Amino acid sequence: MTATVIIEEHNGAGNTRTDKTSGTVRFKNADNATVDLNNPLVVPSAGARENSYEKWLRLRITNGAFTQISNLRAYSDGDLSFGQGSPSEVNVYYATAGAYRAPAVPTEVNGPPQIPEAGSPVENMTNLALRVSGDPVDMDAINTGPFTDGSPAEEIGDFLVLVMQLMPGASSGLLTAETLTFAYDEI
């Protein structure tokens, strides 16, 4: 039997985990995994930016028999415009992290969002639309594989930290869904 690997969203200071495999991650002004219309992001006024709370995602093995899992990666389809027509109005940024910390709202400053990282004051996040199947995000650069334990409920790889940023030109209302793909090699 092959491994069953799920995607979990981590929230709060107590590190609550929610299975998001084949599900929806809602960017909003609240640190929770609930997919609802509460705490929406607000299109900012001219010269400002609006950032969501960080979304912390990580892979977990839930069961299965395998020799090893390696080469964890994540990527977009390269068009994260969310129906806006211009990716510069609504952007999703990412960074990777080796250890969890409670999600926060990155400072709304000029440029991409920044997150604190161990050993340095901040790390600039990168636009996720730039990471496609031919150039994916390396999801086991910090917590390196291969993963061979096979014990149920083993977390594997790095955290993918995501932030949605709205620019003043964004349209208000619900955005179209986008797909984020996680991939790995299994033997």
pTM of the model: 0.92
Tell me how far apart the alpha carbons of residues 13 and 53 are, in angstroms, rounded to a whole number.
13
In which band, very low, low, confident or very high, does the pLDDT at 152 lie, cut at 50, 70 and 90? low
Query: Mean pLDDT: which of 75-84, 110-119, 158-167 is highest?
Result: 158-167
Listed ranges 21-25, 120-124, 144-148; the one with the highest mean pLDDT: 21-25
pLDDT tens-digit profile of 63-82?
A: 877 888 999 999 998 887 77
Cβ 125 vs Cβ 112: under 8 Å: yes
**Would you give the DSSP letter of residue 147?**
B
8 Å CB contact between 178 and 162? no
- Average predicted confidence (pLDDT) for the chain: 88
What is the C-alpha separation between 63 and 177, in angstroms, rounded? 29
Whether pLDDT at 139 is above 60: yes
Query: Which DSSP letter does residue 46 get?
Result: T
| Residue 86: predicted pLDDT | 57
Q: Which residue has the higher pLDDT, 85 or 175?
A: 175
Structure-token pair, residue 29: 């002004």
pLDDT at 135 over 90: yes
The pLDDT score that the predictor gives to residue 80 is 76
pLDDT for residue 94? 94
Closest CA to 27 of 110, 122, 120, 113: 113
- Report the pLDDT averaged over residues 130-154: 87
Mean per-residue pLDDT, 47-65: 90
Give pLDDT tens digits for 1-14: 688 899 999 999 99
pLDDT at 102 over 80: yes
Rounded distance, CA 67 to CA 94, Å?
30
Closest by Cα among 30, 10, 16, 9 to 105: 30
| DSSP-assigned beta bridge partners for residue 159 | 97
Mean pLDDT in residue range 96-101: 92
pLDDT at residue 153, rounded to an integer: 72
Do 170 and 82 form a contact (C-beta atoms < 8 A)? no
Please state which of the ranges 29-43, 78-92, 122-136 shows the lowest mean pLDDT.
Answer: 78-92
Phi-psi region of 168 (alpha: psi -120 to 50; beta: other; left: phi over 0): alpha
